[in-house]
A and B are shown apart, each in its own frame.
Chain A
Amino acid sequence: MTTPSRYWREIPQRYRGEANSCEKCKKKFFPPRLICPKCGNRDLAKAKIADKGKVLSFTIIRVPPSPFKDQAPYAVGIVELKDGVKIMGQIVECDFKDLKVGLPVKIEFRKMFKEGHSGILCYGYKFVPDS
């Protein structure tokens, strides 16, 4: 069960891909970090993740956690975005037979799940084929 407060804390990342970056190492972090793990820099700049990329790896979820039970079976993949950031997410609007490593995808804003009949609606990013 996602509580409204936990969902709320992740809104900047889930809704608009808020990240940060170390200017010295030219590296972007998503979710944002407090300190650059490579050089220890604490003065990280605000950034946004790219909205397009390609599938690095994927799997089909047939026995999902309970908030996602109505969505099964669904595809989850690791996507390498154009800025090098690698993130995991659902891949939707794509027949499983068309899923492949290297498939170009883009981010779309979607409903992730509902908290039962009366709880909050949770929104965030998913991937769709970029035709």
Chain B
Amino acid sequence: MEGIVGYGAYIPRNRIKVEEIAKVWGADAPSYKKGLMLEEKSVPSPDQDTITMSVEASKNALKRAGIDPIDIGAVYIGSESHPYAVKPSGTVLAEALGATPEVHTADFEFACKAGTEGMFVALNLVKSGAVKYGLGVGADTSQGAPGDALEYSAAAGAAAFVFGKKNVVAEVLDTYAYMTDTPDFWRREYEYYPQHGGRFTGEPAYFKHVTGAARGLMKKAGMKPQDFSYVIFHQPNGKFPFKAGRKLGFSKPQIEPGWLVNKLGNTYSGSSPLGLTSTLDIAKPGDHILLISYGSGAGSDGFILKVTSRIEDVRNLAPLTRDILDQNKNYLEYGEYAKFREKIRKAD
């Protein structure tokens, strides 16, 4: 049965703490930390972007997949921070991996849901027999406007998944998509920073679509929360995934292995996919995992996975996600962070 053959993560080593951002804007750090359940976030170096992180995450996925990259027939990166406005990110990735020229490539965009969209399409092309292997990547170097609540959480990271029919580490038993037109978060062309609908991003946006997708998928598959060892929800902040879990009847221990946001921030298209990598890092053969993404605009993709015994053989062929997150960190001051993120206007 088709599923994930290899998975990989990449997180830049730079971090900035909530306190460091709050002191610049005269904000109250303890209330932000409590309100968002967030301590720090990842920041890309100036020479890193969605493309470079996608390459590193995909190399890790290939180490676990153990396949010849020339057999990859589809390469999809989902991101809201593709480095070019016109010119695909996926061509660079496919070339860096050695998957060209017989490969189908497209860039996906759907706020924070673009990563699971790429995964959804790659998986279904494998399922249909159109390609032998398909690569789906979620990656972002998200930007929040200086001083905006989003600045505390907008982070950087990537997760990559190779889908195939043989030697899978996790079978994909079922998928689901749930969406409506909901303007909770957007960025117009030529605008540098996104805008959002404040509290409107909660109930009618995140919670409606996340719970709608989770309920719809479980009904379709004839499963209930107790049937899953783990669940991963999109993580725009620390609180939302736990609240969604409570609404649906999931417990904290089911959520925690994939809950990275308190030390990582919201990696947008990389968010729930990175949570899936850290969950696969600790899952046992036979475990069922539910993955529910969320992208503003708005919609959720859902996946039900069943872990196979191959997970034990490949897990340690690439860095574990919690190790990448916890080790070798480099803390930035706000000035360095503003320089790294090109928030400072320079002369030419």
Contact = CB atoms under 8 A, between A and B. Distances in A.
6 contacts: A16-B95, A109-B55, A111-B47, A121-B84, A126-B47, A131-B327
A116 B95 CA distance: 24
A23 to B, nearest CB: 21
A49 B325 CA distance: 28
B330 interface: yes
B48 interface: yes
B330 A93 contact: yes
A111 B92 CA distance: 11
A111 B52 contact: yes
B49 A111 contact: yes
B97 interface: yes
B165 interface: no
Interface string B2-13: 000000000001
B96 A109 contact: yes
Main secondary structure of the interface of B (DSSP, over half): loop
Interface in A82-109: 92-93, 108-109
Query: What 10 A-B pairs have minimum CB-CB distances, sorted nearest first?
Result: A109-B55, A15-B96, A110-B47, A111-B47, A109-B52, A15-B95, A16-B98, A110-B52, A121-B83, A16-B96
A121 B83 CA distance: 8
B48 A110 contact: yes
A11 interface: yes
Interface string A62-94: 000000001100000000000000000000110
Interface residues of A, number: 18
A117 B92 CA distance: 20
A16 B97 contact: yes
Contacts of A56: none
Contact of A93 (B45, B52, B98, B327): B45
* Residue of A109, A110, A123, A131 most packed against chain B (CB within 10 A): A109
B328 interface: yes
Contacts of B140: none
Contacts of A112: 47
Contact of B92 (A70, A92, A93, A123): A123
Contacts of B52: 108-111, 123
Given A93-B13, A131-B328, 8 more contacts: A16-B95, A70-B46, A70-B346, A108-B56, A109-B52, A109-B55, A116-B348, A121-B84
Contacts of A123: 51-52, 92, 96
Interface string B34-48: 000000000001111
Contacts of A116: 348
Interface string A6-47: 000001000110000000000000000000000000000000
B253 to A, nearest CB: 31
Contacts of A117: 348
A114 B78 CA distance: 22
B45 A92 contact: yes
A131 B330 CA distance: 14
Given A15-B95, A15-B96, A123-B92, A109 B56 contact: yes
Interface in B99-140: none
A108 B95 CA distance: 15
A111 B346 CA distance: 20
